[in-house]
Amino acid sequence: SVVALHEGTLLLEEGAEPTPPSMMVDMGVYGAENCSSCHADAFDKPTAETCGTNCHGEMDYGFMFDEIRNEFDTVKAPLDALNIELYKALNKMTAEQKAQFNKFKEYYDALAYDKSKGIHNNELYRGIAEKATAIGTELANGLGIPVPAGEQN
């Protein structure tokens, strides 16, 4: 598996130790035992407001919450488009290309299932997105599929 998942969110790559630059990891907030640091109960999801003032007192870091989530959406949007285009070409793929597509999907699905939108480990989702982009772009190029804007570096 690409990453360890906990209730639909990215935590850490299998066997990896938590490392910076994730702001939550920097503060020692990771792993299931620390969920209540941000998740007061099962029904209230953290927001920029609760993140900014509940954890940091008078220093409002809530803007970072929104920035990370917005960046996640920006990074994922071209992969969403690429996923659709690759699915359309599935019946044209060779066995090797289907294997490559499955690898792309493994990374893409890890992003799609991250309901925290990068908050749990913002550096991890960037790495996964880079892998999905590289694999998906190579596959799309091999199939003659135009790569959605934002995908090619």
Peptide bond preceding 21: is omega within 30 degrees of 0, i.e. cis? yes
Detail the DSSP E strand segments found in 71-137.
Answer: none
User: Given this model, what pLDDT does residue 73 score?
Assistant: 93
Determine the straight-line distance between the first and last CA of the chain, rounded to whole angstroms: 26
> Which of residues 94 and 151 earns the better pLDDT score?
94
In angstroms, the CA 102 to CA 104 distance is 5
List the alpha helices (DSSP H) in 38-94: 48-54, 62-88
Average pLDDT value for residue range 83-88: 95
Residue pLDDT, tens place only, 2-37: 444 444 445 444 445 554 445 566 666 655 556 666
Residue pLDDT, tens place only, 94-133: 999 999 999 999 999 988 888 788 877 777 788 889 999 9
Which stretch of 48-57, 83-92, 111-120, 138-147 has the lowest confidence by average pLDDT?
48-57
The answer, as to whether pTM is greater than 0.75, is no
Sequence length of the chain is 153
Residue 147 has pLDDT above 90, yes or no: no
